Protein backbone atom coordinates (compact mmCIF):
# COMPACT_ATOMS: atom_id res chain seq x y z
CA UNK A 1 0.00 0.00 0.00
CA UNK A 2 3.08 2.24 0.12
CA UNK A 3 3.16 5.33 -2.06
CA UNK A 4 4.97 4.76 -4.29
CA UNK A 5 5.03 0.94 -4.33
CA UNK A 6 7.89 -0.62 -6.32
CA UNK A 7 7.02 -4.30 -5.73
CA UNK A 8 6.39 -6.03 -9.07
CA UNK A 9 6.56 -9.76 -8.21
CA UNK A 10 5.52 -11.61 -5.07
CA UNK A 11 6.32 -15.33 -4.79
CA UNK A 12 4.83 -17.11 -1.77
CA UNK A 13 4.87 -20.59 -3.30
CA UNK A 14 4.75 -23.38 -0.72
CA UNK A 15 3.82 -21.08 2.16
CA UNK A 16 1.11 -21.98 4.68
CA UNK A 17 -1.00 -18.96 3.89
CA UNK A 18 -4.39 -20.61 3.73
CA UNK A 19 -7.49 -18.54 2.97
CA UNK A 20 -6.99 -16.27 5.98
CA UNK A 21 -3.58 -15.21 4.66
CA UNK A 22 -4.95 -14.39 1.23
CA UNK A 23 -7.69 -12.33 2.87
CA UNK A 24 -5.04 -10.19 4.57
CA UNK A 25 -2.97 -9.96 1.39
CA UNK A 26 -6.00 -8.78 -0.56
CA UNK A 27 -6.12 -5.62 1.54
CA UNK A 28 -2.84 -4.60 -0.09
CA UNK A 29 -3.97 -5.67 -3.55
CA UNK A 30 -6.95 -3.32 -3.29
CA UNK A 31 -4.71 -0.30 -2.84
CA UNK A 32 -4.49 2.08 -5.84
CA UNK A 33 -0.75 2.26 -5.10
CA UNK A 34 -0.25 -1.48 -5.73
CA UNK A 35 1.72 -2.13 -8.94
CA UNK A 36 2.12 -5.91 -8.59
CA UNK A 37 2.48 -7.71 -11.94
CA UNK A 38 3.12 -11.31 -10.80
CA UNK A 39 1.50 -13.09 -7.84
CA UNK A 40 2.61 -16.70 -7.25
CA UNK A 41 0.56 -18.62 -4.67
CA UNK A 42 1.08 -22.25 -5.68
CA UNK A 43 0.73 -24.89 -2.96
CA UNK A 44 -0.41 -22.50 -0.23
CA UNK A 45 -3.30 -24.50 1.24
CA UNK A 46 -5.97 -22.39 -0.47
CA UNK A 47 -9.61 -23.19 -1.23
CA UNK A 48 -12.22 -21.55 -3.46
CA UNK A 49 -12.71 -18.87 -0.79
CA UNK A 50 -9.33 -17.38 -1.70
CA UNK A 51 -10.61 -16.80 -5.23
CA UNK A 52 -13.43 -14.69 -3.77
CA UNK A 53 -10.90 -12.54 -1.90
CA UNK A 54 -8.63 -12.13 -4.92
CA UNK A 55 -11.39 -11.24 -7.36
CA UNK A 56 -12.90 -8.77 -4.93
CA UNK A 57 -9.52 -7.09 -4.42
CA UNK A 58 -8.59 -7.00 -8.08
CA UNK A 59 -11.89 -5.42 -9.03
CA UNK A 60 -10.57 -2.38 -7.22
CA UNK A 61 -7.13 -2.44 -8.82
CA UNK A 62 -7.04 -4.93 -11.68
CA UNK A 63 -5.02 -3.34 -14.43
CA UNK A 64 -1.44 -4.17 -13.37
CA UNK A 65 -1.52 -7.91 -12.59
CA UNK A 66 -0.27 -9.99 -15.53
CA UNK A 67 0.61 -13.37 -13.97
CA UNK A 68 -1.33 -15.40 -11.38
CA UNK A 69 -0.27 -18.88 -10.25
CA UNK A 70 -2.74 -20.76 -8.04
CA UNK A 71 -1.51 -24.28 -8.83
CA UNK A 72 -1.66 -27.12 -6.31
CA UNK A 73 -4.48 -25.59 -4.30
CA UNK A 74 -7.93 -27.08 -3.70
CA UNK A 75 -9.82 -24.42 -5.67
CA UNK A 76 -12.31 -26.77 -7.34
CA UNK A 77 -14.83 -25.65 -9.95
CA UNK A 78 -16.38 -23.07 -7.62
CA UNK A 79 -13.08 -21.20 -7.40
CA UNK A 80 -12.62 -21.15 -11.17
CA UNK A 81 -16.17 -19.90 -11.62
CA UNK A 82 -15.33 -16.92 -9.41
CA UNK A 83 -12.05 -16.26 -11.23
CA UNK A 84 -13.82 -16.42 -14.58
CA UNK A 85 -16.17 -13.63 -13.58
CA UNK A 86 -13.16 -11.43 -12.86
CA UNK A 87 -11.36 -12.40 -16.05
CA UNK A 88 -14.33 -11.36 -18.18
CA UNK A 89 -14.09 -7.82 -16.84
CA UNK A 90 -12.64 -5.41 -19.45
CA UNK A 91 -10.49 -3.88 -16.70
CA UNK A 92 -8.46 -7.06 -16.13
CA UNK A 93 -5.18 -7.47 -18.02
CA UNK A 94 -4.18 -10.94 -16.79
CA UNK A 95 -2.01 -12.73 -19.38
CA UNK A 96 -0.95 -15.91 -17.52
CA UNK A 97 -3.18 -18.12 -15.34
CA UNK A 98 -1.82 -21.36 -13.91
CA UNK A 99 -4.28 -23.77 -12.31
CA UNK A 100 -2.30 -27.00 -12.32
CA UNK A 101 -3.54 -29.67 -9.88
CA UNK A 102 -6.47 -27.68 -8.49
CA UNK A 103 -9.13 -30.47 -8.27
CA UNK A 104 -10.95 -29.21 -11.35
CA UNK A 105 -13.44 -31.06 -13.53
CA UNK A 106 -14.93 -30.42 -16.97
CA UNK A 107 -17.20 -27.79 -15.38
CA UNK A 108 -14.23 -25.43 -15.05
CA UNK A 109 -13.61 -25.72 -18.78
CA UNK A 110 -17.04 -24.27 -19.44
CA UNK A 111 -16.27 -21.27 -17.25
CA UNK A 112 -12.88 -20.73 -18.91
CA UNK A 113 -14.36 -21.12 -22.40
CA UNK A 114 -16.60 -18.15 -21.61
CA UNK A 115 -13.49 -16.20 -20.65
CA UNK A 116 -11.75 -17.03 -23.94
CA UNK A 117 -14.85 -15.95 -25.84
CA UNK A 118 -14.85 -12.56 -24.13
CA UNK A 119 -12.52 -9.66 -24.74
CA UNK A 120 -9.80 -10.97 -22.41
CA UNK A 121 -5.99 -10.73 -22.59
CA UNK A 122 -5.16 -14.28 -21.52
CA UNK A 123 -2.16 -15.71 -23.39
CA UNK A 124 -1.15 -18.66 -21.17
CA UNK A 125 -3.47 -21.18 -19.50
CA UNK A 126 -2.20 -24.19 -17.54
CA UNK A 127 -4.83 -26.77 -16.54
CA UNK A 128 -2.46 -29.74 -16.19
CA UNK A 129 -3.17 -32.59 -13.78
CA UNK A 130 -6.90 -31.97 -13.53
CA UNK A 131 -9.47 -34.60 -14.58
CA UNK A 132 -10.94 -32.60 -17.44
CA UNK A 133 -11.50 -35.59 -19.76
CA UNK A 134 -12.78 -35.27 -23.31
CA UNK A 135 -16.00 -33.52 -22.21
CA UNK A 136 -13.95 -30.74 -20.65
CA UNK A 137 -11.79 -30.34 -23.74
CA UNK A 138 -14.91 -30.10 -25.90
CA UNK A 139 -16.16 -27.22 -23.76
CA UNK A 140 -12.76 -25.51 -23.82
CA UNK A 141 -12.57 -25.89 -27.59
CA UNK A 142 -15.62 -23.66 -27.96
CA UNK A 143 -13.55 -20.89 -26.43
CA UNK A 144 -10.53 -21.63 -28.62
CA UNK A 145 -12.71 -21.23 -31.73
CA UNK A 146 -13.62 -17.68 -30.81
CA UNK A 147 -11.99 -14.91 -32.88
CA UNK A 148 -11.51 -13.04 -29.59
CA UNK A 149 -9.29 -15.79 -28.17
CA UNK A 150 -5.66 -14.66 -27.78
CA UNK A 151 -4.29 -17.79 -26.13
CA UNK A 152 -0.72 -18.66 -27.17
CA UNK A 153 0.09 -21.45 -24.68
CA UNK A 154 -2.30 -24.18 -23.49
CA UNK A 155 -1.09 -26.88 -21.11
CA UNK A 156 -3.30 -29.95 -20.64
CA UNK A 157 -0.76 -32.45 -19.35
CA UNK A 158 -2.23 -35.52 -17.58
CA UNK A 159 -5.88 -34.47 -17.87
CA UNK A 160 -7.39 -37.87 -18.78
CA UNK A 161 -7.97 -36.73 -22.36
CA UNK A 162 -8.80 -39.37 -24.97
CA UNK A 163 -8.84 -39.40 -28.77
CA UNK A 164 -12.23 -37.67 -28.86
CA UNK A 165 -10.80 -34.74 -26.95
CA UNK A 166 -7.93 -34.50 -29.40
CA UNK A 167 -10.43 -34.38 -32.28
CA UNK A 168 -12.23 -31.45 -30.63
CA UNK A 169 -8.96 -29.55 -30.28
CA UNK A 170 -8.08 -30.16 -33.92
CA UNK A 171 -11.41 -28.75 -35.08
CA UNK A 172 -11.04 -25.70 -32.86
CA UNK A 173 -7.47 -24.97 -33.93
CA UNK A 174 -8.38 -25.33 -37.60
CA UNK A 175 -10.95 -22.61 -37.03
CA UNK A 176 -8.64 -20.24 -35.17
CA UNK A 177 -4.97 -21.00 -35.79
CA UNK A 178 -3.47 -17.54 -35.64
CA UNK A 179 -2.66 -17.38 -31.91
CA UNK A 180 -1.83 -20.75 -30.31
CA UNK A 181 1.90 -21.53 -30.40
CA UNK A 182 2.32 -24.17 -27.67
CA UNK A 183 0.08 -27.13 -26.80
CA UNK A 184 1.04 -29.66 -24.10
CA UNK A 185 -0.91 -32.95 -24.20
CA UNK A 186 1.60 -35.21 -22.48
CA UNK A 187 0.48 -38.16 -20.35
CA UNK A 188 -3.01 -38.34 -21.83
CA UNK A 189 -4.78 -41.36 -23.34
CA UNK A 190 -4.04 -40.52 -26.96
CA UNK A 191 -3.28 -43.22 -29.50
CA UNK A 192 -0.26 -42.74 -31.70
CA UNK A 193 -2.14 -42.64 -34.99
CA UNK A 194 -4.55 -40.00 -33.65
CA UNK A 195 -1.65 -37.82 -32.48
CA UNK A 196 0.02 -38.07 -35.87
CA UNK A 197 -3.24 -37.13 -37.57
CA UNK A 198 -3.54 -34.08 -35.33
CA UNK A 199 -0.04 -32.96 -36.32
CA UNK A 200 -0.81 -33.41 -40.02
CA UNK A 201 -3.93 -31.30 -39.76
Would you list the domain boundaries of the chain?
A: 104-200
Mean pLDDT within 143-161? 93
- Mean residue pLDDT of the chain comes to 91
Asked if 124 and 68 touch (Cβ cutoff 8 Å), the reply is: no
- Provide CB contacts within 8 A for 24, sequence distance 6+: none
- Structure confidence at residue 192 as a pLDDT band (50, 70, 90): low
Query: How many Å apart are CA 46 and CA 68, to the nearest integer?
Result: 14
Query: How many Å apart are CA 139 and CA 130, to the nearest integer?
Result: 15
Asked if 109 and 139 touch (Cβ cutoff 8 Å), the reply is: yes
Identify the CATH homologous superfamily for domain 104-200. Ribonuclease Inhibitor (3.80.10.10)
Q: What is the predicted pLDDT for the residue at 59? A: 85
DSSP string, 114-154: HHHHSS----EEE-TTS--HHHHHHHHHHHHTSTT----EE
Question: Phi and psi dihedrals of 163, rounded to 5?
Answer: -55, -40
Mean pLDDT within 18-30? 96
Phi-psi region of 18 (alpha: psi -120 to 50; beta: other; left: phi over 0): left
Q: Which of 42-56, 158-172, 185-199 has the highest mean pLDDT?
A: 42-56
Asked if 79 and 54 touch (Cβ cutoff 8 Å), the reply is: no
Q: Give 15's DSSP letter.
A: -
- Provide CB contacts within 8 A for 119, sequence distance 6+: 90, 148
Range with lowest mean pLDDT among 55-59, 125-129, 178-182: 178-182
Query: How many Å apart are CA 130 and CA 109, to the nearest integer?
Result: 11
Asked if 133 and 162 touch (Cβ cutoff 8 Å), the reply is: yes
Q: What is the predicted pLDDT for the residue at 196? A: 46
Amino acid sequence: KADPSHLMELDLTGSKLQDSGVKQLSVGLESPNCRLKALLLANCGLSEISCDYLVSALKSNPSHLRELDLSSNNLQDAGVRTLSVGLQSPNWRLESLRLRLCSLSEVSCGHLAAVLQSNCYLKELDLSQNELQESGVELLSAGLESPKCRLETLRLKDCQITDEGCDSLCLALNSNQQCLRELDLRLNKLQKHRTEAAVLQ
